[in-house]
Every structure is written in structure tokens, then in C-alpha cells.
């Protein structure tokens, strides 16, 4: 089976899909606007990588002339690689290239901002999204919530293909026996992830227990870092709040294991990989009731779902778990079971392979 994937070569999601499918014997062609970073695919056999010489920019900023040149490159890539099917990841940019290529069968995966943000910018972008979804023969989404959002632009059905995790990498490790109760998040420091709400919630919680040693750990980087650090300092959290910065993906499990509770108070979230990673690490998770988060965290079973932009309710959830060690333990155990059942990456890869096989079987009929 030969599959040509159109996607950002440097996205961790792309890397995992490409490497994972390749490990199952799929011959992969990867076309990316940008050149992949050194070492991402060097040890993989059966992967052919194509890329343009154009620096990737936000969709809409690439000139029409540049974009037409990209389409020609994609068509040349298709002629060279001779795929059995074409799979574009991200419904706006790569999805448009796939749609305009005219290749069949064409599979399109929606990722998040391409559905939640892109079509809301203007009428043209909404029409582009509708066009891309119409041209696709098969539509994939990582969550039911995101598929529901996309249904505003198409009446087609979606296959749900969860973006699971490696259960060998994210595994239960008992937290070190110290006196520091630690909560935290592993997110990009941007407005959509509600890190400011987390800081406010932690400040409320900490003020209720001034004699306890409590810690907030924020892993990730982004444009709001300085602003968030200032917020933490103004709330008197300079000693209790640690900004770790970016870490490599293989170091993420370590930080989950240092937490007593993982907290994701996003304003927008298509799926919730970080919440799943925490559950796999047997940690309870507090999430906001947006997007795919309530889908991956079962309220009062694997964690607690709180209203969006409500730091007081989030603080109450932190306090509830802080006071009940047995509840934290039980939620962590239930979270691990749920991830093993629904979000095991090995199973998710096999599900994707079955979808590919079904598509090609239908094509042959």
C-alpha cells in the first residue's frame, strides 16, 4: 500500500502518524511545505519525503502565485510517488492542495483550528473549507466534538480516529514521597489554552491553604510567557509557580509523573492529548467543558470537568482532589483503564490502516 501524506513534516502529530504507519508496512510519501528538521525520519525505511522551498506561513499570507506553485509541486509529487491514496492532514492549507490536485481517493483529516478558527475569519475561508470537505472522499476527525463542529460545513459522516499515545512511554510511576502537592499543565502558552485561568485558580486554592507547601508547574512556551509570569508574580506566586519552558516529547512523561493533578482549562481544544497523557500516567485530570476535553475525561470518574473561564470552580476541583488522596488514586486508575481501552496508539494505528484498506477495497469494486 502506497500512501501520500500532505502535512507539516515537523509536527509531532505528523511524525507519529508517518513513522507509525511505516512501521506497519505502509510505504509512505510525505509532502510538506517546509523541510523536515534533521533526524526526524532518518531511521525510517520506506519513507520518501518531498518539500517545497517556500517558508511556511499562516494560511492566507502565502501569495496566490506561491500557492499555485505549491499545487504544481504536489501534482509532480503524485506523478513521481504514484500513491494508492492521498491523505491530507489539516483541512485548510494542505486540504486545499489535496482538493485541487484532483487525485482520488482523497482522505482529509481535520485537526482543530482549521475547523474552529479558519472558517470564522471571513466568508472566503468558510467557502474554502466547505469546498475541501466536499472534494474529500473520506473525512477523519480525532474527536466527536470536532466532527460535530465540522458538520456546520458538510453533511458527510466522519470516521473518528483518536490521536492516542504510546502506553509504553506514558505509564504509571508513583510520585516521589515529598511534602509538595503539585498541580500543573503541559501546554503552549497561548490564549486558547487558558493558562491565565489556571494561574488564577491556583492562586485562589493556595490562599485557602497558606500553611501548605503547594506548587504549580507550567511546561511549555509561547507568546504569553512574559505576561503569564507577570500575572503569577502579581498574585504572589513567584516562589510557588515554575515555568519550565519547552521540553522534548520524550521528556513529557517525566513531568506528568511529577504532578498530583494535571489541569487543562482550555478555551478551545479539538481533542486533548495532554489530558490523555496524564490519564495514562494514572493522574486525575481537571478540564474545562470545551471541545474534545469532556470526551476524553469522564466527569467524576477519571477527573473533573469544570465550566470554561471559571477559576473559582477550578479551584474548588483542585481542593476536592487535594483533600481526598483515595479519590485521586481511584480517578488515576480509572483514567489508565480508559486510555488502554480507547487511546492506545498501537490500536489507533491499526484502526487507521483498516480505514485505508476499506477505502482501497471500495475503490476496487
Same domain, 138 and 278: no
Sheet holding 303-306, edge to edge: 241-245, 214-219, 181-186, 261-264, 285-288, 303-306
Q: Is the pLDDT of residue 186 over 60?
A: yes
Same domain, 299 and 190: yes
For residue 205, which of 289, 318, 341, 82 has the smallest C-alpha distance? 318
User: In the structure grid, which three cell numbers stand for residue 237, read together?
Assistant: 506566586
Same domain, 155 and 217: no
As a whole number, mean pLDDT of residues 355-364 equals 89
Lowest mean pLDDT among 26-40, 209-223, 299-313, 328-342: 26-40
More confident: 107 or 115 = 107
Q: How far apart are CA 150 and CA 147, in angstroms?
A: 5
Q: How far is CA 113 from the centre of its chain?
A: 11
As a whole number, mean pLDDT of residues 302-322 equals 98
Residue with the three cell numbers 509529487: 77
Helices (H), ranges, 169-212: 195-208
Q: Is the pLDDT of residue 136 over 60?
A: yes
Same domain, 356 and 264: no
Quote the domain boundaries for residue 117: 2-164+345-364
Residue 312 within a domain: yes
As a whole number, mean pLDDT of residues 259-271 equals 93
Same domain, 156 and 189: no
Residue 173 within a domain: no
Same domain, 158 and 205: no
Give me the number of domains the chain comprises: 2
Same domain, 52 and 6: yes
Quick: pLDDT tens for 291-308.
Answer: 889 999 999 999 999 999
Same domain, 203 and 331: yes
Residue 267 within a domain: yes
Same domain, 350 and 294: no
User: In the structure grid, which three cell numbers stand for residue 42, read together?
Assistant: 532518518
Residue 80 within a domain: yes
Residue with the three cell numbers 501569495: 63
What pLDDT is recorded for position 264? 97
**Phi, psi of 245, deg, nearest 5:** 90, -170
Same domain, 237 and 319: yes
Residue 175 within a domain: no
Give the predicted TM-score (pTM) of the model.
0.84
Residue 86 within a domain: yes
More confident: 271 or 191 = 191
More confident: 52 or 193 = 193
CATH number at residue 302: 3.40.50.2000
Quick: pLDDT tens for 170-184.
Answer: 999 887 666 799 999
Residue 140 within a domain: yes
Quick: pLDDT tens for 45-74.
Answer: 879 999 987 765 554 545 445 666 799 999
Same domain, 98 and 210: no
Same domain, 84 and 46: yes
Q: What does pLDDT average to over the chain?
A: 92
User: In the structure grid, which three cell numbers stand for residue 64, read together?
Assistant: 496566490
Residue 169 within a domain: no
Amino acid at each position: 500500500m502506497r500512501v501520500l501524506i500532505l502535512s507539516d513534516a515537523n509536527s509531532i502529530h505528523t511524525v507519529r502518524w508517518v513513522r507509525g504507519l511505516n512501521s506497519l508496512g505502509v510505504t509512505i510519501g510525505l509532502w510538506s511545505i517546509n523541510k523536515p528538521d534533521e533526524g526526524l525520519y532518518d531511521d525510517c525505511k520506506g519513507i520518501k519525503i518531498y518539500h517545497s522551498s517556500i517558508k511556511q506561513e499562516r494560511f492566507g499570507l502565502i501569495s496566490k502565485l506561491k500557492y499555485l506553485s505549491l499545487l504544481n509541486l504536489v501534482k509532480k509529487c503524485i506523478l513521481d510517488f504514484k500513491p494508492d491514496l492521498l491523505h491530507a492532514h489539516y483541512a485548510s492549507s494542505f486540504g486545499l492542495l489535496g482538493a485541487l490536485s484532483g487525485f482520488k481517493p482523497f482522505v482529509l483529516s481535520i485537526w482543530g483550528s482549521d475547523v474552529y478558527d479558519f472558517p470564522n475569519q471571513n466568508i472566503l475561508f468558510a467557502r474554502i473549507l466547505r469546498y475541501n470537505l466536499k472534494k474529500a472522499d473520506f473525512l477523519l476527525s480525532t474527536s466527536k466534538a470536532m466532527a460535530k463542529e465540522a458538520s456546520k460545513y458538510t453533511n458527510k459522516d466522519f470516521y473518528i480516529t483518536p490521536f492516542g499515545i504510546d502506553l509504553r512511554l506514558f505509564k504509571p510511576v508513583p510520585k516521589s514521597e515529598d511534602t509538595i502537592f503539585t498541580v500543573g499543565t503541559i501546554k503552549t502558552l497561548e490564549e486558547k489554552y487558558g493558562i491565565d485561568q489556571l494561574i488564577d485558580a491556583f492562586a485562589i486554592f493556595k490562599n485557602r491553604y497558606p500553611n501548605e507547601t503547594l506548587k504549580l508547574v507550567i511546561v511549555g512556551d509561547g507568546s504569553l510567557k512574559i505576561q503569564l509570569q507577570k500575572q503569577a508574580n502579581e498574585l504572589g506566586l513567584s516562589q510557588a509557580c515554575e515555568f519550565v519552558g519547552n521540553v522534548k516529547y520524550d521528556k513529557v512523561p517525566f513531568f506528568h509523573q511529577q504532578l498530583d493533578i494535571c489541569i487543562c482549562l482550555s478555551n478551545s481544544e479539538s481533542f486533548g492529548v495532554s489530558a490523555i497523557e496524564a490519564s495514562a500516567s494514572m493522574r486525575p485530570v481537571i478540564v474545562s467543558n470545551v471541545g474534545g476535553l469532556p470526551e476524553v475525561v469522564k466527569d467524576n470518574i477519571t477527573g473533573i470537568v469544570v465550566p470554561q473561564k471559571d477559576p473559582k470552580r477550578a479551584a474548588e476541583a483542585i481542593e476536592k482532589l487535594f483533600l481526598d488522596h483515595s479519590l485521586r488514586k481511584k480517578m488515576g486508575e480509572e483514567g489508565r483503564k480508559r486510555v488502554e481501552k480507547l487511546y492506545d496508539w498501537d490500536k489507533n494505528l491499526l484502526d487507521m490502516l483498516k480505514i485505508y484498506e476499506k477505502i482501497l477495497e471500495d475503490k476496487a469494486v
